[in-house]
Chains A and B, each alone.
Chain A
Amino acid sequence: MTRPTTTGSPAAAAQAGSRGYRIGVDIGGTFTDLTLADEHGVVAIGKVLTTPDEPARAIGEVIGEVLARTSVPAADVEGVVHGTTLVTNAIIERKGAVTALLTTAGFRDVVEMGTERRYELYDLMIELPKPLVPRHLRLEVRERMLADGTVERALDEDEVAAIARELEARGVEALGIAFLHSYANPQHERAAAAVVAQAAPKLRVGLSSDVAPEIREYERASTTLANVYVQDRVARYLSDLEERIDGLGVTGSLFVMLSNGGIATVETAKRRPIGLLESGPAAGALAAAAIGGDQGHADLLSFDMGGTTAKLCMIEDGRPLISTGFEVDRVYRLKAGSGLPIKTPVVDMIEIGVGGGSIARIDALGLLKVGPDSAGSQPGPVCYGQGGVEPTVTDADLVLGYLNPGYFLGGAMMLDVEAAREAIRERIAEPLGVSVEQAAWGIHRAVNEDMANAARVHAVERGREPSLLPLYAFGGAGPVHAAGVARAADVRHVVAPTGAGVLSSAGFLTAPLTFDFVRSHAAKVADLDRATVDGIFAELEARGGELLVGSGVAPEDVVHERSAEMRYLGQGFEIRVPVPDADDDWPSSLLRAFEDAYLRLYGRQGPPVPVEVLNWRLVSSGPRPGLSLRLKPDAGVADRGAKGERPAYFGEWVDTPVYARYGLRPGDTAEGPAIVEERESTLIVPPDAAFTVADNLSLVVDLKPSLA
Chain B
Amino acid sequence: MTAVRSQLDPFLVGAVAKRLVSTLNEQQATLVNTAFSTIVRESLDLACGVFDTRGEMVAQSASGTPGHINAMATGVHHFLARFPAEQLAPGDVLITNDPWMTTGQLHDITIATPVFRAERLVALFASTCHAADIGGRGLSGEAREVYEEGLLIPPMKLVRAGAVNEDLVELIRGNVRTPDETIGDVYAQAAANATGARSLLSLLDELHLDGIDEIGAEIIDRSERAMREAIAALPDGVHTAEVSNDGFDEPVTLRVTITIDGDDVRLDFDGSSGQSQFGINNVLNYTRAYASFALKAAVAPDVPHNAGSFRPVEIVAPEGSILNCRPPAAVASRHLIGHMLPSLVFAALAPVLPERLLAGSADSLWATLWRGVDAGGDSFAQTLFHAGGVGARAMKDGLSTVGFPTGVGAVATEVVEALTPLLNRSRTLRTDSAGPGWWRGGLGQVVEMECRGQRSWNLSALVDRTRFPAQGAAGGLLGAPGELTLDGDWLPTKRLVALDRHACVTVRTPGGGGWGDPLLRDPARVLADVVDGYVSLLQARKVYGVAIDYVGAADARVRLPQDYVVDQAETARLRGDEGSLG
Contact = CB atoms under 8 A, between A and B. Distances in A.
Nearest to B37: A570
Contacts of A568: 36, 184
A147 B417 contact: yes
Contacts of A123: 297, 301
A490 B206 CA distance: 8
Interface in B384-401: 385-387, 393, 396, 399-401
A125 B418 contact: no
Interface stretch (A4-12, A310-318, A605-613): A605-613
Given A118-B403, A180-B413, A166 B11 contact: no
Contacts of B223: 365
Contacts of A181: 414, 417
Question: Which of the listed residues A438, A604, A609 has the most CB atoms from chain B within 10 Å of its own CB?
Answer: A604
A115 B409 contact: yes
A571 B302 CA distance: 33
Interface string A554-593: 0000000000000010111100000000000000000000
B14 interface: yes
Question: Which of the listed residues B183, B406, B427 has the most CB atoms from chain A within 10 Å of its own CB?
Answer: B427
Nearest to B564: A136
B429 interface: yes
Contact of A118 (B25, B302, B407): B407
B415 interface: yes
Interface string A116-130: 111001111111100
Interface string A448-488: 01100110110011000000000000000000000000001
Q: In which size bucket is the chain A interface?
A: 35 or more
B532 A136 contact: yes
Nearest to A450: B18
Given A128-B399, A606-B34, A122 B414 contact: no
B445 interface: yes
A445 interface: yes
Question: Which of the listed residues A124, A136, A446, A461 has the most CB atoms from chain B within 10 Å of its own CB?
Answer: A124
Given A113-B401, A115-B409, A449-B19, A121 B66 contact: yes
A669 B501 CA distance: 80
Contact of A573 (B41, B393, B408): B41
Given A113-B400, A606-B184, A147 B414 contact: yes
Contacts of A136: 531-533, 558-561
A122 B180 CA distance: 34
A571 to B, nearest CB: 6
Interface stretch (A211-219, A282-290, A525-533): A211-219
Given A116-B409, A166-B557, A365 B303 contact: yes
Given A118-B403, A125-B393, A461-B33, A170 B41 contact: no
Interface stretch (A41-49, A103-111, A243-251): A103-111
Interface in B1-23: 10-11, 13-15, 17-19, 21-22
Contacts, number: 236
A107 B15 contact: no
Contact of A117 (B35, B37, B408): B408
Contacts of A706: 206
B558 A122 contact: no
Interface string B371-389: 0000000000000011100
A127 B427 CA distance: 21
A371 to B, nearest CB: 12
Contacts of A92: none
Given A135-B533, A367-B10, A124 B22 contact: no
Interface in A142-168: 146-147, 152, 162-163, 166-167
Question: Which of the listed residues A108, A147, A445 has the most CB atoms from chain B within 10 Å of its own CB?
Answer: A147
B551 interface: no
B410 A607 contact: no
B205 interface: yes
B428 A107 contact: yes
Interface string B412-438: 111101100001111111000000000
Nearest to A614: B418
A601 B30 CA distance: 9
B558 A166 contact: yes
B184 A217 contact: no
Nearest to B406: A118
A180 B298 CA distance: 40
Interface string B29-46: 110111111100111100
A454 B407 CA distance: 23
Given A107-B427, A181-B417, A215-B415, A117 B409 contact: yes
B365 to A, nearest CB: 10
A624 to B, nearest CB: 31
Contact of B17 (A106, A109, A365): A365
A113 B18 CA distance: 34
A170 B26 CA distance: 52
A109 B427 contact: yes
A664 interface: no
B404 interface: yes
A571 B29 contact: no
B85 interface: no
B160 interface: no
Contacts of A167: 558
A597 interface: no
Nearest to B429: A109
A139 interface: yes
A366 interface: yes
B426 A112 contact: no
Given A116-B387, A432-B10, A607-B36, A107 B426 contact: yes
A170 B418 contact: no
Interface in A84-109: 100, 105-109
Question: Which of the listed residues A107, A134, A365 has the most CB atoms from chain B within 10 Å of its own CB?
Answer: A365
A412 interface: no
A363 interface: yes
A133 to B, nearest CB: 11
B219 interface: yes
A653 interface: no
Contacts of B283: none
A573 B17 contact: no
A124 B297 contact: yes
Contacts of A170: 558, 560
A528 B566 CA distance: 60
Given A125-B393, A460-B195, A573-B41, A137 B226 contact: no
Given A126-B399, A181-B417, A607-B184, A135 B25 contact: no
B556 A166 contact: yes
Contacts of A570: 36-38, 181
B415 to A, nearest CB: 6
B412 A216 contact: yes
A97 to B, nearest CB: 15
Contact of B184 (A107, A113, A127, A609): A609
Contact of A609 (B41, B180, B298, B386): B180
A364 interface: yes
Nearest to B132: A570
B427 A106 contact: yes
A445 B34 contact: no
Contact of A218 (B44, B229, B296, B412): B412
Contact of A128 (B25, B43, B402, B428): B402
B304 interface: yes
B490 to A, nearest CB: 22
Nearest to A457: B25
20 contacts: A106-B424, A116-B402, A121-B407, A124-B358, A125-B393, A135-B532, A136-B532, A147-B418, A162-B557, A163-B558, A167-B558, A170-B560, A181-B414, A215-B412, A364-B229, A364-B230, A442-B10, A490-B202, A570-B38, A573-B33
Given A124-B393, A449-B18, 4 more contacts: A116-B387, A166-B558, A365-B219, A488-B206
7 cross-chain pairs, A with B, having the tightest CB-CB distances, nearest first: A106-B426, A117-B409, A572-B41, A453-B22, A135-B532, A116-B410, A367-B14
